Amino acid sequence: MTSPLPPFDWDIFCCVVDNFGDIGVTWRLARQLKQEGALPTHGDEAQVRLWVDDLASFARICPGLDPALDSQWVDGIHIQHWHDTLPADAIPARVVIEAFACQLPAPFIERMAEQMASQPRPPCWINLEYLSAESWVEDCHALASPQRVGNQSLNKYFFFPGFTARTGGLLCERGLIAERERWQQDEAGLAAYWASLGLPPKQEHELRVSLFTYESPALTSLVESWCQSATPVTLLLPLGRSLNDVLTGAGLAAAIPTAKAGALLQAGNLTIKLLPMTDQAGYDRLLWSCDLNLVRGEDSFVRAQWAARPFLWHIYPQEEQAHMVKLDGFLDHYLAKLPTATGQWLRGFSHALNQGENCRDWWAQWPEHAAIWLQHGRPWSQKQLRDGDLVTRLVKFLESRI
Protein backbone atom coordinates (compact mmCIF):
# COMPACT_ATOMS: atom_id res chain seq x y z
CA MET A 1 0.00 0.00 0.00
CA THR A 2 1.44 3.38 -1.00
CA SER A 3 1.65 6.23 1.46
CA PRO A 4 -0.69 9.16 0.83
CA LEU A 5 0.97 12.14 -0.80
CA PRO A 6 1.56 15.25 1.29
CA PRO A 7 -0.21 18.51 0.45
CA PHE A 8 1.95 20.24 -2.13
CA ASP A 9 3.04 23.85 -2.01
CA TRP A 10 4.07 23.92 -5.67
CA ASP A 11 2.80 22.16 -8.80
CA ILE A 12 4.94 22.72 -11.91
CA PHE A 13 3.79 21.54 -15.34
CA CYS A 14 6.34 21.06 -18.12
CA CYS A 15 5.76 20.07 -21.74
CA VAL A 16 9.09 19.03 -23.24
CA VAL A 17 9.39 20.76 -26.62
CA ASP A 18 13.10 21.19 -27.30
CA ASN A 19 14.57 18.03 -25.74
CA PHE A 20 16.33 19.66 -22.78
CA GLY A 21 15.57 23.40 -22.67
CA ASP A 22 12.10 23.34 -21.12
CA ILE A 23 12.77 20.49 -18.73
CA GLY A 24 16.20 21.92 -17.93
CA VAL A 25 14.67 25.13 -16.63
CA THR A 26 11.77 23.48 -14.78
CA TRP A 27 13.97 20.84 -13.12
CA ARG A 28 16.29 23.55 -11.81
CA LEU A 29 13.25 25.53 -10.67
CA ALA A 30 11.74 22.52 -8.88
CA ARG A 31 14.95 21.76 -6.98
CA GLN A 32 15.47 25.38 -6.01
CA LEU A 33 11.87 25.71 -4.82
CA LYS A 34 12.37 22.57 -2.71
CA GLN A 35 15.38 24.15 -1.03
CA GLU A 36 14.42 27.83 -0.95
CA GLY A 37 10.75 28.15 -1.85
CA ALA A 38 9.07 28.14 1.55
CA LEU A 39 5.86 30.11 1.17
CA PRO A 40 4.67 32.77 3.62
CA THR A 41 3.22 31.40 6.89
CA HIS A 42 3.98 27.82 5.89
CA GLY A 43 7.20 26.65 7.55
CA ASP A 44 10.72 26.30 6.21
CA GLU A 45 10.46 23.46 3.68
CA ALA A 46 8.45 23.30 0.48
CA GLN A 47 6.77 20.29 -1.07
CA VAL A 48 7.16 20.30 -4.86
CA ARG A 49 5.48 18.20 -7.56
CA LEU A 50 6.76 18.32 -11.13
CA TRP A 51 4.52 17.12 -13.98
CA VAL A 52 6.44 16.13 -17.16
CA ASP A 53 5.07 14.71 -20.41
CA ASP A 54 8.39 13.27 -21.71
CA LEU A 55 10.25 11.34 -19.03
CA ALA A 56 12.74 9.82 -21.50
CA SER A 57 14.19 13.24 -22.37
CA PHE A 58 14.07 14.22 -18.70
CA ALA A 59 16.13 11.14 -17.75
CA ARG A 60 18.99 12.30 -20.00
CA ILE A 61 19.75 15.13 -17.56
CA CYS A 62 18.47 13.36 -14.43
CA PRO A 63 20.15 9.94 -14.16
CA GLY A 64 18.17 9.01 -11.03
CA LEU A 65 14.86 9.12 -12.91
CA ASP A 66 13.13 5.94 -14.15
CA PRO A 67 11.12 6.82 -17.32
CA ALA A 68 8.99 3.68 -16.89
CA LEU A 69 7.42 4.86 -13.62
CA ASP A 70 4.24 6.89 -13.59
CA SER A 71 5.23 8.64 -10.37
CA GLN A 72 8.38 8.70 -8.26
CA TRP A 73 10.45 10.79 -5.85
CA VAL A 74 13.79 12.21 -7.00
CA ASP A 75 15.85 14.56 -4.83
CA GLY A 76 12.84 15.08 -2.55
CA ILE A 77 10.61 16.15 -5.47
CA HIS A 78 7.57 14.18 -6.61
CA ILE A 79 7.83 13.50 -10.35
CA GLN A 80 4.49 12.78 -12.01
CA HIS A 81 4.21 11.57 -15.60
CA TRP A 82 1.80 14.00 -17.27
CA HIS A 83 -0.51 12.21 -19.69
CA ASP A 84 -4.17 12.21 -20.65
CA THR A 85 -5.41 10.58 -17.46
CA LEU A 86 -5.17 12.72 -14.35
CA PRO A 87 -4.60 10.83 -11.06
CA ALA A 88 -7.84 10.76 -9.10
CA ASP A 89 -6.18 11.98 -5.92
CA ALA A 90 -4.29 14.92 -7.52
CA ILE A 91 -5.18 17.94 -5.40
CA PRO A 92 -3.77 21.23 -6.80
CA ALA A 93 -0.97 22.80 -4.81
CA ARG A 94 -1.06 26.26 -3.25
CA VAL A 95 0.83 27.57 -6.30
CA VAL A 96 0.39 26.07 -9.76
CA ILE A 97 2.97 26.94 -12.43
CA GLU A 98 2.48 26.27 -16.12
CA ALA A 99 5.95 26.57 -17.57
CA PHE A 100 6.27 28.30 -20.93
CA ALA A 101 2.53 28.52 -21.57
CA CYS A 102 2.17 24.74 -21.70
CA GLN A 103 -1.59 24.88 -20.86
CA LEU A 104 -2.78 23.03 -17.79
CA PRO A 105 -5.04 19.99 -18.32
CA ALA A 106 -8.70 21.03 -18.17
CA PRO A 107 -9.60 18.61 -15.32
CA PHE A 108 -6.82 20.09 -13.20
CA ILE A 109 -8.09 23.62 -13.79
CA GLU A 110 -11.57 22.45 -12.79
CA ARG A 111 -10.14 21.10 -9.52
CA MET A 112 -8.47 24.46 -8.92
CA ALA A 113 -11.84 26.16 -9.35
CA GLU A 114 -13.51 23.67 -7.00
CA GLN A 115 -11.08 24.61 -4.27
CA MET A 116 -12.42 28.15 -4.29
CA ALA A 117 -15.48 26.92 -2.43
CA SER A 118 -13.52 25.12 0.28
CA GLN A 119 -10.53 27.42 0.80
CA PRO A 120 -10.24 31.12 1.67
CA ARG A 121 -8.14 31.57 -1.44
CA PRO A 122 -7.81 29.35 -4.52
CA PRO A 123 -4.44 28.10 -5.77
CA CYS A 124 -2.34 30.89 -7.24
CA TRP A 125 -1.90 30.25 -10.96
CA ILE A 126 1.38 31.36 -12.54
CA ASN A 127 2.29 31.29 -16.23
CA LEU A 128 6.09 31.20 -16.18
CA GLU A 129 7.05 32.67 -19.55
CA TYR A 130 10.19 32.27 -21.65
CA LEU A 131 13.12 34.48 -20.75
CA SER A 132 13.30 37.68 -22.77
CA ALA A 133 15.23 40.95 -22.62
CA GLU A 134 12.77 42.83 -24.82
CA SER A 135 11.49 46.09 -23.34
CA TRP A 136 7.78 45.15 -23.50
CA VAL A 137 8.35 42.41 -20.90
CA GLU A 138 8.49 44.96 -18.08
CA ASP A 139 4.96 46.15 -18.93
CA CYS A 140 3.53 42.62 -18.97
CA HIS A 141 5.33 41.11 -15.99
CA ALA A 142 3.04 40.21 -13.06
CA LEU A 143 -0.17 41.13 -14.93
CA ALA A 144 -3.30 39.11 -14.13
CA SER A 145 -5.43 37.41 -16.79
CA PRO A 146 -8.91 36.40 -15.52
CA GLN A 147 -9.85 32.85 -16.54
CA ARG A 148 -13.49 31.77 -16.47
CA VAL A 149 -13.96 28.19 -15.21
CA GLY A 150 -17.62 27.22 -14.96
CA ASN A 151 -19.19 29.83 -12.68
CA GLN A 152 -15.84 30.66 -11.08
CA SER A 153 -13.14 33.14 -12.10
CA LEU A 154 -9.46 32.43 -11.53
CA ASN A 155 -6.60 34.85 -12.12
CA LYS A 156 -3.59 33.62 -14.04
CA TYR A 157 -0.51 35.77 -13.48
CA PHE A 158 2.21 36.21 -16.10
CA PHE A 159 5.70 35.93 -14.66
CA PHE A 160 8.53 36.93 -17.01
CA PRO A 161 12.16 36.07 -16.25
CA GLY A 162 14.35 38.97 -17.31
CA PHE A 163 17.33 41.23 -16.84
CA THR A 164 15.88 44.24 -15.03
CA ALA A 165 14.39 45.00 -11.62
CA ARG A 166 10.90 45.18 -13.17
CA THR A 167 10.98 41.55 -14.35
CA GLY A 168 11.18 38.16 -12.64
CA GLY A 169 14.96 37.87 -12.70
CA LEU A 170 16.98 34.73 -13.44
CA LEU A 171 17.19 31.29 -11.83
CA CYS A 172 20.22 31.10 -9.55
CA GLU A 173 20.53 28.84 -6.53
CA ARG A 174 21.73 30.26 -3.24
CA GLY A 175 25.47 29.69 -2.93
CA LEU A 176 26.03 29.01 -6.64
CA ILE A 177 28.33 32.00 -7.22
CA ALA A 178 30.50 31.13 -4.20
CA GLU A 179 30.73 27.53 -5.46
CA ARG A 180 31.82 28.80 -8.89
CA GLU A 181 34.52 30.95 -7.33
CA ARG A 182 35.94 28.04 -5.35
CA TRP A 183 35.95 25.85 -8.46
CA GLN A 184 37.66 28.37 -10.74
CA GLN A 185 40.37 29.17 -8.20
CA ASP A 186 41.24 25.52 -7.44
CA GLU A 187 44.04 24.65 -9.88
CA ALA A 188 44.52 21.14 -8.52
CA GLY A 189 40.80 20.54 -8.70
CA LEU A 190 40.67 21.76 -12.31
CA ALA A 191 43.54 19.43 -13.26
CA ALA A 192 41.64 16.54 -11.67
CA TYR A 193 38.51 17.57 -13.54
CA TRP A 194 40.28 17.54 -16.90
CA ALA A 195 41.79 14.16 -16.05
CA SER A 196 38.29 12.83 -15.34
CA LEU A 197 37.42 13.73 -18.93
CA GLY A 198 40.54 12.02 -20.25
CA LEU A 199 42.42 15.28 -20.92
CA PRO A 200 45.79 16.56 -19.70
CA PRO A 201 46.03 19.79 -17.68
CA LYS A 202 45.36 22.89 -19.74
CA GLN A 203 48.45 24.38 -21.40
CA GLU A 204 49.35 28.00 -20.77
CA HIS A 205 48.25 29.33 -24.16
CA GLU A 206 45.64 26.70 -24.97
CA LEU A 207 41.95 27.57 -25.36
CA ARG A 208 39.30 25.22 -24.06
CA VAL A 209 35.86 25.70 -25.57
CA SER A 210 32.52 24.02 -24.82
CA LEU A 211 29.92 23.86 -27.57
CA PHE A 212 26.24 23.00 -27.07
CA THR A 213 24.31 24.65 -29.91
CA TYR A 214 21.79 23.97 -32.63
CA GLU A 215 22.82 23.13 -36.18
CA SER A 216 24.36 26.06 -38.09
CA PRO A 217 26.58 26.52 -41.16
CA ALA A 218 28.43 29.12 -39.06
CA LEU A 219 29.90 26.29 -36.97
CA THR A 220 31.72 24.88 -39.99
CA SER A 221 33.68 28.08 -40.57
CA LEU A 222 34.35 28.54 -36.88
CA VAL A 223 35.75 25.03 -36.53
CA GLU A 224 37.88 25.54 -39.64
CA SER A 225 39.37 28.60 -37.93
CA TRP A 226 40.19 26.57 -34.83
CA CYS A 227 41.89 23.88 -36.92
CA GLN A 228 44.18 26.52 -38.44
CA SER A 229 44.69 28.48 -35.23
CA ALA A 230 48.18 29.35 -34.02
CA THR A 231 46.85 28.70 -30.52
CA PRO A 232 45.90 25.12 -29.60
CA VAL A 233 42.13 24.74 -29.17
CA THR A 234 40.43 21.89 -27.33
CA LEU A 235 36.71 21.61 -28.05
CA LEU A 236 34.49 19.90 -25.47
CA LEU A 237 31.51 18.69 -27.49
CA PRO A 238 28.53 16.95 -25.86
CA LEU A 239 26.95 14.58 -28.38
CA GLY A 240 23.98 16.31 -29.95
CA ARG A 241 22.62 18.41 -32.76
CA SER A 242 25.82 20.28 -33.63
CA LEU A 243 27.98 17.16 -34.10
CA ASN A 244 27.67 16.93 -37.89
CA ASP A 245 28.53 20.59 -38.51
CA VAL A 246 31.51 20.46 -36.16
CA LEU A 247 33.05 17.29 -37.58
CA THR A 248 32.40 18.47 -41.15
CA GLY A 249 34.21 21.74 -40.41
CA ALA A 250 37.12 19.79 -38.99
CA GLY A 251 37.36 17.64 -42.11
CA LEU A 252 36.26 14.60 -40.10
CA ALA A 253 32.91 13.91 -41.76
CA ALA A 254 33.89 10.25 -42.17
CA ALA A 255 33.89 9.90 -38.36
CA ILE A 256 30.26 11.05 -37.97
CA PRO A 257 28.56 7.60 -38.28
CA THR A 258 30.76 6.04 -35.58
CA ALA A 259 31.19 9.03 -33.25
CA LYS A 260 30.86 8.00 -29.62
CA ALA A 261 31.23 9.70 -26.27
CA GLY A 262 34.79 9.50 -25.02
CA ALA A 263 36.39 9.73 -28.47
CA LEU A 264 39.32 12.12 -28.92
CA LEU A 265 39.71 13.49 -32.45
CA GLN A 266 42.46 15.66 -33.92
CA ALA A 267 42.32 18.08 -36.87
CA GLY A 268 45.20 20.49 -37.30
CA ASN A 269 45.59 22.48 -34.09
CA LEU A 270 42.10 21.48 -32.89
CA THR A 271 41.45 18.62 -30.49
CA ILE A 272 37.82 17.50 -30.16
CA LYS A 273 36.70 15.60 -27.08
CA LEU A 274 33.26 14.04 -27.45
CA LEU A 275 31.31 14.05 -24.19
CA PRO A 276 28.20 12.16 -23.09
CA MET A 277 25.16 14.05 -21.86
CA THR A 278 25.65 14.96 -18.23
CA ASP A 279 23.50 16.02 -15.32
CA GLN A 280 23.05 19.72 -14.68
CA ALA A 281 25.73 20.00 -12.01
CA GLY A 282 28.20 18.39 -14.40
CA TYR A 283 27.29 20.85 -17.14
CA ASP A 284 27.78 23.78 -14.76
CA ARG A 285 31.30 22.56 -13.98
CA LEU A 286 32.07 22.28 -17.69
CA LEU A 287 30.99 25.90 -18.23
CA TRP A 288 33.02 27.08 -15.23
CA SER A 289 36.13 25.34 -16.56
CA CYS A 290 36.22 26.53 -20.18
CA ASP A 291 37.60 29.77 -21.65
CA LEU A 292 34.65 30.16 -24.03
CA ASN A 293 31.19 28.59 -24.00
CA LEU A 294 28.83 28.36 -26.97
CA VAL A 295 25.34 27.72 -25.62
CA ARG A 296 21.77 27.51 -26.85
CA GLY A 297 18.16 27.95 -25.79
CA GLU A 298 17.44 29.23 -22.30
CA ASP A 299 18.84 26.96 -19.60
CA SER A 300 22.43 26.71 -20.85
CA PHE A 301 22.29 30.42 -21.80
CA VAL A 302 21.57 31.44 -18.20
CA ARG A 303 24.11 29.01 -16.77
CA ALA A 304 26.80 30.44 -19.06
CA GLN A 305 26.19 33.83 -17.49
CA TRP A 306 26.74 32.44 -13.99
CA ALA A 307 30.01 30.90 -15.24
CA ALA A 308 31.41 34.45 -15.70
CA ARG A 309 33.29 33.39 -18.82
CA PRO A 310 32.95 34.60 -22.41
CA PHE A 311 29.99 32.97 -24.14
CA LEU A 312 28.04 33.11 -27.39
CA TRP A 313 24.29 32.51 -27.39
CA HIS A 314 22.83 30.45 -30.23
CA ILE A 315 19.18 31.41 -29.80
CA TYR A 316 16.38 29.15 -30.99
CA PRO A 317 15.57 30.24 -34.58
CA GLN A 318 12.08 31.62 -35.19
CA GLU A 319 10.06 32.70 -38.21
CA GLU A 320 10.53 36.19 -39.64
CA GLN A 321 13.80 36.59 -37.72
CA ALA A 322 11.94 37.14 -34.44
CA HIS A 323 14.84 35.50 -32.58
CA MET A 324 17.22 38.23 -33.77
CA VAL A 325 15.07 40.85 -32.05
CA LYS A 326 15.34 38.84 -28.83
CA LEU A 327 19.09 38.44 -29.32
CA ASP A 328 19.57 42.18 -29.77
CA GLY A 329 17.38 42.90 -26.76
CA PHE A 330 19.77 40.85 -24.65
CA LEU A 331 22.89 42.30 -26.27
CA ASP A 332 21.66 45.82 -25.57
CA HIS A 333 21.88 44.98 -21.86
CA TYR A 334 24.94 42.73 -21.95
CA LEU A 335 27.16 45.00 -24.04
CA ALA A 336 26.22 48.30 -22.36
CA LYS A 337 29.32 48.45 -20.12
CA LEU A 338 31.82 47.10 -22.64
CA PRO A 339 34.13 49.36 -24.69
CA THR A 340 32.50 50.35 -27.97
CA ALA A 341 34.88 48.37 -30.17
CA THR A 342 34.45 45.18 -28.16
CA GLY A 343 30.67 45.62 -28.06
CA GLN A 344 30.46 46.11 -31.82
CA TRP A 345 32.64 43.06 -32.43
CA LEU A 346 30.63 40.87 -30.10
CA ARG A 347 27.31 41.96 -31.61
CA GLY A 348 28.61 41.26 -35.11
CA PHE A 349 29.99 37.88 -34.06
CA SER A 350 26.69 36.96 -32.38
CA HIS A 351 24.72 37.94 -35.49
CA ALA A 352 26.99 35.90 -37.75
CA LEU A 353 26.61 32.80 -35.59
CA ASN A 354 22.83 33.12 -35.42
CA GLN A 355 22.37 33.83 -39.12
CA GLY A 356 24.60 30.97 -40.25
CA GLU A 357 27.26 33.23 -41.75
CA ASN A 358 31.00 32.73 -42.12
CA CYS A 359 32.65 33.43 -38.76
CA ARG A 360 36.34 33.30 -39.73
CA ASP A 361 36.91 37.07 -39.73
CA TRP A 362 35.03 37.46 -36.46
CA TRP A 363 37.08 34.76 -34.77
CA ALA A 364 40.29 36.37 -36.00
CA GLN A 365 39.57 39.29 -33.64
CA TRP A 366 39.29 37.08 -30.54
CA PRO A 367 42.84 37.88 -29.26
CA GLU A 368 42.06 41.61 -29.35
CA HIS A 369 38.91 41.37 -27.22
CA ALA A 370 39.16 38.17 -25.14
CA ALA A 371 40.69 39.69 -21.99
CA ILE A 372 38.15 42.55 -21.89
CA TRP A 373 35.31 40.09 -22.42
CA LEU A 374 36.56 37.86 -19.60
CA GLN A 375 36.75 40.79 -17.17
CA HIS A 376 33.12 41.60 -17.97
CA GLY A 377 31.79 38.26 -16.70
CA ARG A 378 31.87 38.72 -12.95
CA PRO A 379 30.37 42.21 -12.71
CA TRP A 380 27.67 41.17 -15.18
CA SER A 381 26.63 38.15 -13.09
CA GLN A 382 26.68 40.28 -9.90
CA LYS A 383 24.44 42.87 -11.54
CA GLN A 384 21.84 40.24 -12.43
CA LEU A 385 21.44 39.28 -8.76
CA ARG A 386 21.31 42.79 -7.34
CA ASP A 387 17.50 42.71 -7.07
CA GLY A 388 17.23 39.00 -6.28
CA ASP A 389 17.06 35.78 -8.26
CA LEU A 390 13.86 34.41 -9.80
CA VAL A 391 12.76 32.27 -6.85
CA THR A 392 13.28 35.13 -4.41
CA ARG A 393 11.20 37.46 -6.58
CA LEU A 394 8.52 34.81 -7.15
CA VAL A 395 8.03 34.12 -3.44
CA LYS A 396 7.91 37.85 -2.74
CA PHE A 397 5.30 38.28 -5.49
CA LEU A 398 3.15 35.57 -3.88
CA GLU A 399 3.29 36.99 -0.35
CA SER A 400 0.07 38.98 -0.74
CA ARG A 401 -1.70 36.45 -2.97
CA ILE A 402 -1.79 33.19 -1.03
Q: Which residues contact 307 (CB under 8 A, 6 or more apart)?
A: 180, 284, 287, 288, 290, 293, 377
Q: What is the SS3 assignment for 176?
A: helix
C-alpha–C-alpha distance, residues 70 and 218, integer Å: 42
> Do 58 and 25 meet the contact criterion of CB atoms below 8 Å apart?
no
Helix (H, G, I), strand (E, B) or coil at 219: helix
List, in order, residues 6 or more apart from 188 with CB less than 8 Å away: none
CA distance 50 to 61: 15
Max intra-chain CA distance, the chain: 71
User: Pick the catalytic residue: 11, 298, 299, 389?
Assistant: 298
Q: How far is CA 38 from CA 11, 92, 259, in A?
A: 13, 17, 45
Catalytic residue among 11, 22, 129, 245: 22
CB 318 within 8 A of CB 330: no
Q: What's the rounded Cα separation, in Å, for the pair 356 and 220?
A: 9
**Is residue 126 classed as helix, strand or coil in its secondary structure?**
strand
Residues in the chain: 402
Q: Which phi and psi (to 5°) does residue 159 adopt?
A: -120, 115
Report the candidate in 102, 100, 128, 101 with the shortest Cα–Cα distance to residue 33.
Answer: 128
Ramachandran sector of residue 141 (left: φ over 0; alpha: ψ -120 to 50; beta: rest): beta
C-beta neighbour count of 355 within 10 angstroms: 15
Active site residue 173: no
Label residue 130 exposed, middle or buried (CB < 10 Å: 0-12, 13-18, 19+): middle
Q: 22 an active-site residue?
A: yes
56: alpha, beta or left? (left if phi > 0; alpha if psi -120 to 50): alpha
DSSP-derived pairing of the beta strands 152-159 and 144-149: antiparallel
The residues carrying an active-site annotation are 22, 298
